[in-house]
Amino acid sequence: MEKYQAASSSFYKSIVQSFYGSIDGQYVDIFESLNTFLHERLYANYQNDDIDSFSVFANLFIYYYEYSVRKYRGLISDQEIHEVCSEAAARGIKEMIVFGLKFNKNSSEIKHKTKDNLFSEVLLSKLSNIIYTSIKYKDIRKFSFFLNQLNQIYSNSYDQYRVKLEVSFLQNKKLNQEEQDQLKILEERLYAGTFIDNIVRRIFKVVRFWTYYLFSIEILNHSEIKEINDIFEQYNLYIESEQLEDIYYLRASSYHGDNTWNEWDYVERPEMEVYTPPSALHWVTFGSLIYFLKDDGAISYNIEDKNPEHIKSFEYFISSMAEMLLDLEKNGYEKWHSIFNTPSKEDFDKRILSFKQQVDYLRKVNVTGKEKSIADQPLHQPIITAFSDTLIAGWSNKNSIRELFTYFRNTNNLEKKPEGAIQIGEKNLIKEDWKKHFIQDQNFATSIGNVNLLGHQLAKVEEKVFINQILDDKKLRVLNLLIDIDKSIHGLTNLGFTPSVILITHSKWTTTFANLRHPDFELNWNKDKEFPFSEYGGVYKKILIIALKNGFLKNNVIVADFFESFELDQYVQSGNPVMINISLITTEEAGSIVDTNSSYWLHNNISRDEAIIKVRNAVKFDFYSLLKFNVKQREAYDILTTQ
């Protein structure tokens, strides 16, 4: 159903204009009447659960403050209406959050609390925009007043503190069903109860970081940032409590949040032009870095109680801080030394250096934390299966030798290891850092690339082994290859064989066959018979040519009655000639691995425990075939060499 077009919807514009008019004419009493009307509408929208209209009307707080600051900034006279506007905007929002919405009789009930929170969130986002506007127009005096109002919204009640304690007590305990339900209720209560406080704290942080950023791009000058720093002195607690959690939140919300600060900008952009405001991800990180540096502060980060998500966000956070730190180190002294209170260059460098060390240390700790988390996870079988399938596909694709053996059906599949068989490929190989590819974890798991290439490599090794096996010293030197191939065919035929394959390197094939339009050579022979050969090179006198792209044959050409000449014995495990296995390394195994090769694992001064975790981030990897190529009758093939 289409939306009901309210008759009143056209009033909004004239209300906005009335506000502007009252500011223009400095009619305080009219402004107050209008403001009362605004409050009435907000309250009515709240009662009707109409959050969209509520948000639209709450925008008026920003509009009239911005209009008045734009008109009266810098003017010493004419301040009364501006005072009234700023007061009305911030105090109005504060009072509505602190007293207004709580007129709800049963506001202790979770349901009502949740509703109140939603409306308060809207109001707070308006307040944060008002603060942003005051910075934009450098209305520092009002900026201080707004922060003060924001401060008053923060409740920090003892009641919430108690609930918090109860929750953390229950979380660290084994619970029965009843207690679990209780915990759930408590958690909900805690969430609803601290909802507003959380937002307030984050707004303080966001504003703090934003001002540092503005200073860095020279929108705010020295005296202005100093003034702002002084104002912030009394609110430092908001920046320091829940520091990392809030920074994660702010960084994450810059990707997918609809918070207003994602759109904060420092210049007026022309309308109708595509542009992106400065990235909140960047300036939040930058601002927090400056904050840490300013007080020579320590980042309190305890890896023990962190979940994987935290570890990951911290990893990103730390590494982008490290990048910015490099830049600061190079060109930051001039700009920041007075902020950091490090007058000499040495002091400044020392400050940066000590923080850098801290960052490096934290990064290491965090990496260890990440590795530890990976080490403790099980392997995920479906990923392994998919991996194996890709490997096999890579192996069987373009595997010319196997194709020949399959085509001529001279392969023996054996259930046990053939006598004298050799292992081609790797077994029990410790693949460092591979475990992260095989776990099911949304934070750390990454996929592995070029798997089919790995399979292809095995096929090529097999080819090499085969060719080395069949090449011996009984070579026939040739002058004209084509004539000698003819001779060889003739000779083999005379011995009672039927020559069926010519093996030749691709480069030689090009000069011998492909470029010569010999009447006995046909490239299209395969056209309707569809031979399953990936390196098919046509036929010569009805004999199949395989043009091998790998150079293993060198200058040799082999003319053979393939079936009578060669034979393949291979070990087959449940139908598969290729053995693939990926397995965990247990802590005990890891210990012995470290001990047997301590010079390798214990370099860089890491402890044995850390080394064990490193080993456990690896997996044991088998990928091999067991086989033996036999020469059935040496007389059945000729080796022609052009050397």
Q: Which residues of the shown chain bind another protein in the complex (CB under 8 A)?
A: 1, 4-8, 10-11, 13-15, 17-18, 21-22, 24-25, 27, 29-30, 33-34, 37, 40-41, 44, 48, 50
Q: Which two tokens stand for residue 271?
A: 């309308």
Beta-strand pair 637-641/475-477: parallel
Residue type, 473: D
Cβ distance to another protein smaller for residue 24 or 432: 24
Cβ distance to another protein smaller for residue 11 or 103: 11
Cβ distance to another protein smaller for residue 53 or 342: 53
Cβ distance to another protein smaller for residue 44 or 393: 44
Phi first, then psi, for residue 441 (nearest 5°) are -150, 120
Closest distance of CB 20 from another protein, Å:
9
- 624's enclosing H/E stretch is strand 619-631
Closest distance of CB 46 from another protein, Å:
11
Closest distance of CB 287 from another protein, Å:
41
- 630's enclosing H/E stretch is strand 619-631
Closest distance of CB 97 from another protein, Å:
22
User: Could you give the C-alpha distances from 247 to 117, 125, 168, 201, 234, in angstroms and in order?
Assistant: 22, 18, 22, 11, 20
- 118's enclosing H/E stretch is helix 110-136
**Alpha-carbon distance 208 to 206, whole Å?**
5
Closest distance of CB 121 from another protein, Å:
22
Cβ distance to another protein smaller for residue 30 or 365: 30
Q: Helix 333-340 to helix 308-331 angle, to the nearest 10 degrees?
A: 110
Sign of CA dihedral 209, 210, 214, 220: negative
Q: Which two tokens stand for residue 587?
A: 């802590």
DSSP letter (8 states) at residue 550: S
Closest distance of CB 50 from another protein, Å:
7
Q: Which two tokens stand for residue 304?
A: 């023990």
Cβ distance to another protein smaller for residue 26 or 642: 26
Residue 81 and residue 26 in contact, taking contact as beta carbons nearer than 8 Å: yes
Cβ distance to another protein smaller for residue 84 or 293: 84
Closest distance of CB 51 from another protein, Å:
13
Closest distance of CB 88 from another protein, Å:
16
Cβ atoms within 10 Å, residue 190:
17
Residues whose CB falls within 8 Å of the CB of residue 354, separated by 6 or more in sequence, listed in order: 296
Cβ distance to another protein smaller for residue 11 or 161: 11
Q: Which residue has the tokens 């425990």?
A: 609
Cβ distance to another protein smaller for residue 7 or 76: 7
Rg of the chain in Å (alpha carbons): 38
Closest distance of CB 134 from another protein, Å:
25
